Amino acid sequence: MEKQLTPTETQYLKERGFQIIEQPPQRNEPFPYLTLREQQQFFEQSEITYHYTSFMKTGTMGIAHPSTTPESELVKLIESAVADGMASEGELYQTTPGQPIKIFMLDPAWKEIAETLVAKYKSV
């Protein structure tokens, strides 16, 4: 069953928004952030990864890449990963409204999906 965002989760996403970076994250990149990678060879690897700390991250199971999955489904997977991470806010990392969550787009195939997220959740 597809997860529906709660009003609180939607507000959290709108308050932060997203920023696209077309390069890998720096070693000392502040958390949290997303990486969107090329299609992975092994089932256990993830094309979508939400990084909480250098040791904690969450990803998708199976293949989730623009070449195989509809854009709307990928957007929902990313929204859900960030919304699920709200529980770690204040414990593992700290964000503030107006501070966008960075999307490190490591594969140009993700461009439309990343741009959709930026447009949908422009900071208020």
* Arithmetic mean of pLDDT, 67-82: 93
For 27-54, write each residue's pLDDT tens digit: 899 999 999 998 877 655 689 999 988 7
- AA letter at 81: A
pTM: 0.89
Asked whether the beta carbons of 114 and 34 are under 8 A apart, the reply is no
- The 3-state secondary structure of 16-38 reads HCEEEECCCCCCCCCCCEEEECC
Question: How do residues 84-109 score in pLDDT, each as one tens digit?
Answer: 888 787 777 788 888 999 999 999 99
Percent of the chain whose predicted confidence (pLDDT) is above 90: 60
Residue with more model confidence, 2 or 22: 22
For 34, 59, 68, the CA distances from 18, given in Å and listed in that order, are 10, 18, 23
